Amino acid sequence: FVSFKGIRTLMEIKGLYNRSPSKQDVKIFFQGGLEATTCYLNHHPPAQDLMGDEKGTIDCSLDKSFFLGRIFRSNDDAWECTSRKPDTEPSVVLNFKNLISAIRGACGQIDPLADPALGNINVSGRIPLLDKFGFVARIASREVPSPLQKFHAK
């Protein structure tokens, strides 16, 4: 079921190729990236080993006010993501400075050392959880083809 949601999200991206992305478009792109990473967290043995018994939630937003998504480990021990902002406090908050930074995040192209220093992202909370998630996101982005390269190149 989780993988089906990811495929549905990727299908929504299909219509976004011929225009500059809006905030809502970036949210769809971002959900596609979260879904791909979630599949790796749940089904890729090295990612499963890395995350082990890790628990927690990561909330992602754009410009501190536009919610992009949350990734979390559910009660049945599977990683999931949602585009709706839950009422509970996250373990980690990842805020993207602008649309370009958020697109780079969706592509797994955030540099965990340079981007915070340059102000492209702002991170607070359990940084080790975000580091592990980011590592898996970069693996997924290298192995899964993405239509976002067109927008990232702009």
27-80 residue pLDDT tens: 988 888 899 899 999 999 999 999 988 999 999 999 999 999 999 999 889 999
The mean of the pLDDT values for the chain is: 85
Mean pLDDT of 13-37: 78
Could you write out the three-class secondary structure of 106-127? HCCCCCCCHHHHHCCEEEEECH
Mean pLDDT of 94-105: 91
**Helix 2-13 vs helix 23-43: crossing angle, to nearest 10:** 150
Say what the pLDDT of residue 20 is: 74
Whether the predicted pLDDT of 102 surpasses 70:
yes
Whether the predicted pLDDT of 17 surpasses 60:
no
Dihedral sign, CA of 90, 33, 132, 80? positive
User: DSSP letter at 85?
Assistant: -
Say what the pLDDT of residue 25 is: 83
